[in-house]
Structure 1
Amino acid sequence: MKLVLAPMEGLADYWLRQVLTDIGGYDWCVTEFVRVSGRLLPPKVFYRWCPELREGARTRAGTPVHLQLLGSDPQCVAENAALGVELGAPAIDLNFGCPAKTVNRHRGGAVLLDEPELVYAVVAAVRDAVPATVPVSAKMRLGNDDDLRALDNARAVDAAGASWLTVHGRTRAQGYRPPAYWDRIREVREAVSIPVIANGEVWTAEDARRCAAESGCGALMLGRGAVSDPFLARAIRHGEQHGWEDIAPWLLDYTGRLLGTGTPVQEAGRIKQWLNYLRRDFPPAAQLLDQVRRERDAARIREIVQARV
């Protein structure tokens, strides 16, 4: 089974990608989306969202990093995809799944699923713009307000020449409320000729087993579950069991590498965000979060984490 680390906007940044792929179990990961809107972006924007482009488009563990783009103008997205490939991206992923209201208001993400013909146009333009050896993939939800066009959108991605399709098993309107409809992903998989990767509500190895069985997919994309349990991919692959004592050193590593990458407040926010996810399964993380909740200096938070490791 292939396992992919999801492109979680505002969460799976460069530094968290490094830690999670260091722990291991992933075939590749996908960046947060690069927003494309009406112009060819300068290289510095690509490097900001995907610093791995300067490192062979791989994390420090050697995991390939695919570049995700979000936009609705086929020609503009295609031109930026071509530049991303010139800068070293090994694959281009196209975002038709973001549920954020701000993104949707500006005609990006899941709202495009109301227009399968536009989904086709964006994928086809990118496919034509990059070398045939570079995979082009797409990530979509089951729909925008409903899932009535799920198969139309999937077939559009397929017909446009995508190499594979990732499907999050909910509509935009359903957000992240459980459940994810893995059986609907199966319907999508059966409607297209390209591989389909299932995504949504995989928090445990048992969830992964059920998702694979219900969706019929041989590949899964892990998102929030991977952030909540950094060893999830290894648990799925090898049945490994890990506790807080295994995770704490990686949290300390993350806090150290984060220092100097932003303002102390920004860095502190990143650390607390990860602790908020970790507390789902690990009580010591909840205790740590309570202890640092009012701290606004990442260096101080690191000292507190170090004292608890």
Structure 2
Amino acid sequence: MRILLAPMEGLLDYRLRDTLTRVGGYDECVSEFIRVNDTLLPSHRYYRCVPELYNNSHTKSGVPVKVQLLGSDVNCMAENASKVASLGAYGIDINFGCPAPTVNRNRGGAALLKEPNLMFSIVKAVRNAVPIHIPVTAKMRLGYDSTEHALICAKALEEGGAKEIVVHARTKVDGYKPPAYWDWIQKIVQSVNIPVVANGEIWTVTDAKRCKDISGCEDIMIGRGAVANPALALMIRNENNENLPWNEVKGILFSYWQKLETEMNHISRAGRIKQWLNYLSRQYKEAEIDFPIVKQYKSVDEFSNYFELPINSLWKM
């Protein structure tokens, strides 16, 4: 089984990738999408979003990171894919799943699920522009407003040359509302001859097992579940239902706070901590108690005092 770490715009970026992959259990990560419009992006744009490119496209703990591109201009996507490859990308992933209205209005992400022929052309052009040793993969949803074209879209990605497809088991209109339709992933698995990775509503070890059983996928991708439980990948891999102690999780949160210190202003830094603590409240009673208090903090001193409580020294790094 492979466990992939998903991106989350505005939270699960390279900083949190570093933190979560240090906890362990992941085989691969995918970066936040980089929007490609009608120009060849400069190298610094890619390095800023995926600084792992400086480290042979791996996190500091050695987990490979694919660079994700999003766009609808076939030639421009190919040119940028070639550029990313020249920077040493481990792999290139193409986003056909983002449900954000601003992205969809500009003919990006899940909006392209209404145009399987264009999906095919984009993947084919990217595959042709990238050296054969660099994998090209894609992420899709079950459709835009229905599952009517799910199998057609998956087949288009396969025929375009995608080595693997990650399927988020909801349509664009479904957004992130439960449930995830894992049974539909199984239909896609049966319709293509390339690996399919299941994604959506995997919050626990039990969810992961049920998802694999229902979808027929060996591999999974987790995002929100990983943020809510930093050890989820390890727990799934070891079939262990025991969460990390809260003191250790708080130590991980503190490590992240320190990581943000040199890169973000205080307001943004505080916002990230509040976001993560809110997700942690899904799995930890302590976080549920702390969140309404911490979300009112405004000063660095308040956060410093919060983190001065006993913390496992393992995460002071």
- TM-score, normalisation: structure 1: 0.97
Residue 293 of structure 1 aligns with which residue? 295
Distance (whole Å) between structure 2 residues aligned to residue 255 and residue 302 of structure 1: 10
Matched, 1:258 2:238: no
Residue 28 of structure 2 aligns with which residue? 28
Aligned equivalent of 1:306, options 305, 308, 315: 308
Counterparts of 1:129-140 in structure 2, within 5 Å, are 129-140=129-140
Kindly provide the amino acid, as one letter, of the partner of residue 96 in structure 1. F
Residue 270 of structure 1 aligns with which residue? 272
Distance (whole Å) between structure 1 residues aligned to residue 58 and residue 227 of structure 2: 19
Contact 2:247 2:310 in 1 (8 A): no
Residue 113 of structure 2 aligns with which residue? 113
- Tell me the C-alpha RMSD between the 2 structures: 1.1
Instruction: Kindly provide the CA deviation profile for residues 153-210 of structure 1, in whole angstroms up to 9, marking residues without a partner as x.
Output: 0000000111000000000000111110000000001100100000000000000000
Q: Secondary structure at the match of 1:29?
A: strand
Distance (whole Å) between structure 1 residues aligned to residue 269 and residue 214 of structure 2: 39
Q: Secondary structure at the match of 2:10?
A: coil
Identity of aligned residues (%): 49
Contact 1:265 1:298 in 2 (8 A): no
Structure 2, unmatched stretches of 5+, are 312-317
Matched, 1:221 2:221: yes
Matched, 1:6 2:15: no
Distance (whole Å) between structure 2 residues aligned to residue 183 and residue 107 of structure 1: 28
Kindly provide the amino acid, as one letter, of the partner of residue 293 in structure 2. Q
- Pick closer, same or farther for the CA change 1:301–1:53 going to 2, 3 Å: same
Offset of 1:299 from its aligned partner? 6.0
Offset of 1:308 from its aligned partner? 5.6
Residue 94 of structure 2 aligns with which residue? 94
Q: Secondary structure at the match of 1:225?
A: helix
Kindly provide the amino acid, as one letter, of the partner of residue 197 in structure 1. V
Superposition misfits of 4+ residues, deviation over 4 angstroms? none
- Higher mean Cα deviation, 2-11 or 123-132? 2-11
Counterparts of 1:17-166 in structure 2, within 5 Å, are 17-166=17-166
Kindly provide the amino acid, as one letter, of the partner of residue 264 in structure 1. H
Kindly provide the amino acid, as one letter, of the partner of residue 292 in structure 2. D
Distance (whole Å) between structure 1 residues aligned to residue 60 and residue 305 of structure 2: 25
Residue 314 of structure 2 aligns with which residue? none
Residue 206 of structure 1 aligns with which residue? 206
Offset of 1:246 from its aligned partner? 2.6
Structure 1, unmatched stretches of 5+, are none
Q: Secondary structure at the match of 1:221?
A: strand
Distance (whole Å) between structure 2 residues aligned to residue 299 and residue 125 of structure 1: 52
Work out the number of aligned pairs and report it. Answer: 309
- Pick closer, same or farther for the CA change 1:235–1:210 going to 2, 3 Å: same
- TM-score, normalisation: structure 2: 0.95
Kindly provide the amino acid, as one letter, of the partner of residue 164 in structure 2. W
